Amino acid sequence: VQLQASGGGLVQAGDSLRLSCAASGHTFRNFHGGWFRQAPGKEREFVAAISRSGYGDSTRYADSVKGRFTISRDNAKNTVYLQMNSLKPEDTAVYYCASTQILWAYADNMRHYTNWGQGTQVTVSS
């Protein structure tokens, strides 16, 4: 199983970015997909998750990104996306995608994710 995250970059506050997480070795629709981030000197934190097919493509977001970020999945491309709008300097971090088949109730807990991508840097300047 391999997850390949991409789409990070350097943007200004208020700009948008779309992160992609392409999976190989497993079918993403059978897994919950999650995005986490880690800023310098801070612990990795939950950003967003989307449920596997069969759970109605439910989504969940951290309070800090609600209304600005949108997680989605393209089953044909076996890819999960994170659309990030109205970016703020505090969104600066390395963003990681992950997948799991744990119960949806635990989808915001990184300890339950079994597959991880390599991370992509997002830097938002003020």
Average pLDDT score, the chain = 95
Q: How far apart are CA 58 and CA 50, in angstroms?
A: 6
pLDDT tens-digit readout, 77-120: 999 999 999 999 999 999 999 999 988 989 999 999 999 999 99
- Please, what sign has the CA dihedral across residues 10, 83, 113, 1? negative
Distant-in-sequence, close-in-space partners of 21: CB < 8 Å, separation ≥ 6: 3, 4, 5, 6, 33, 35, 79, 80, 81, 82, 97, 117
Structure-token pair, residue 59: 């989504």
pLDDT value, residue 102: 87
pLDDT value, residue 53: 87
CB 89 within 8 A of CB 126: yes
pLDDT tens-digit readout, 58-77: 999 999 999 999 999 999 99
